[in-house]
Copies of this chain bind each other. A is one copy, B any other.
Amino acid sequence: MRTALTELLGIDHPLVGFNRSPGVVTEVSKAGGLGVLAATAYTPDELDAQLTWIEQQVGGRPYGVDLLVPEKVAAGDPADLIASLRAQIPAEHQAFVDSLLEKYGIPEAQDTTVAPGGGRDEIMASINSDGADALLDVVFSHPIALIANALGTPPPHLVAQAKTAGIVVAALVGQAKHAVRQLEVGVDVLIAQGTEAGGHTGTVATTVLTPEIVDLAGDKPVLAAGGIASGRQMAAALALGASGVWCGSVWLSSNEDITPLVVKEKFLDASSADTVRSPLRTGKPARQLRSSYHDEWERPGSPSPLPMPLQLMLANEAWNRIDAAAADGNDGARALESFFIGQVVGSFGRLRPAGEIAAEIVADCERRLIELGALAATATGAAR
């Protein structure tokens, strides 16, 4: 399909695949879409290596990067940000998490080395602008086609540098008023992300948000995000006026995704009603699989979640221990396990190659569009 997005990026299909796994990004780009790497989970050196690897795989096809560049720097001592943030976590909260983990039989951390994408403090600190700038320097040293900012408006220097380099700037929005601000700072592509999406998201659903953003964006392409994991849903997004789709959750049903297998197995068992939009993981509302972790935090008497990034730092220590224990077959850890995921989790049937998922979404979408054209031919002529 030829849309404003495929023309802008020089891709075959208006399908963007967002994921933190280089293998997924590669497969989406190879399938004729645009793979976009979630860069925030990596240190600058790791990110450099991942982007180099992606370029070796995609054979010149375009790919992109998603960052979380903060508008406001976390309120800590810039000279020793991690320690100063850590000192802001109340003892009550630390004690609650410790007792929660003890209750579920989660062992103490054995090893501070965690897998790529895990929750080290250094990475948490990338949500201050110095850390984000170090990642940005790496990103701009690679031939990326698109850079997206996940929270808030991108800083002016990001937009300026991208424009100079001919890189498309995209931004996620959950409300019309946010889209107005993004257009003012010069964003090229808006991603209308509905409440059904995984990760940080707002309250307005894709059916309602997408046409609102399309009407605001003028001739700039809009992607629909949230609730899109099939060709039918991609066709619906195009019906709503989007020039393409931004899919995140569906790749967590792919073989290439680096999420722990125990979590992916929980996803395969989940229904669409099993997610929750909650601040308990990061401090800001983010959609994730509901688990015993949420039940415990939501009990009367449990502490209220901290603001970002404190809740994120507190929770990530817990998740590192939970992930390690779950990998060892610990039942309590399996009960607690969770990760960011959208409501499409209910449609996951089995783990499959990411390239197969991408090809099926596109083929089913094209078939559905043909069917919709045929349906129009049965109309009684109200449109003419």
Contact = CB atoms under 8 A, between A and B. Distances in A.
Contact of A382 (B207, B342, B363): B363
B273 A204 contact: yes
Interface in A367-384: 367-370, 372-376, 378-380, 382-383
Interface in A226-243: 226-228, 230, 232-233, 235-241
A156 to B, nearest CB: 27
B366 A202 contact: no
Given A195-B205, A273-B175, A383-B366, A211 B232 contact: yes
A271 B368 CA distance: 32
Nearest to A214: B232
Nearest to A6: B378
Interface residues of A, number: 63
Interface in A334-348: 342-344, 346-347
A380 B382 CA distance: 31
Interface in A253-275: 271-273
Question: In the assembly, how many copies of this chain are there?
Answer: 2
A236 B207 contact: yes
A362 interface: yes
B208 A343 contact: yes
Of listed A196, A235, A375, residue having the most chain B CB within 10 A: A375
Interface string A1-34: 1110000000011000000000000000000100
A195 B365 CA distance: 24
Of listed A230, A237, A372, residue having the most chain B CB within 10 A: A372
A7 to B, nearest CB: 11
A175 B273 CA distance: 7
A196 B205 contact: yes
A43 interface: no
A272 B382 contact: no
Interface string A316-344: 00000000000000000000000000111
Contacts of A211: 230, 232-233, 347
Contacts of A228: 207
A231 to B, nearest CB: 9
Interface in A177-214: 177, 194-196, 202-209, 211-212
Given A207-B227, A272-B212, A376 B376 contact: no
A272 B209 contact: yes
B382 A362 contact: yes
7 contacts: A2-B375, A204-B272, A211-B233, A236-B239, A369-B375, A372-B372, A372-B376
Given A208-B233, A235-B239, 20 more contacts: A1-B379, A13-B380, A175-B273, A176-B271, A177-B271, A195-B196, A204-B272, A204-B346, A205-B205, A205-B226, A205-B227, A206-B207, A212-B272, A212-B346, A233-B240, A236-B237, A369-B372, A369-B379, A370-B373, A373-B376
Interface of A: 1-3, 12-13, 32, 175-177, 194-196, 202-209, 211-212, 226-228, 230, 232-233, 235-241, 271-273, 342-344, 346-347, 359, 362-370, 372-376, 378-380, 382-383
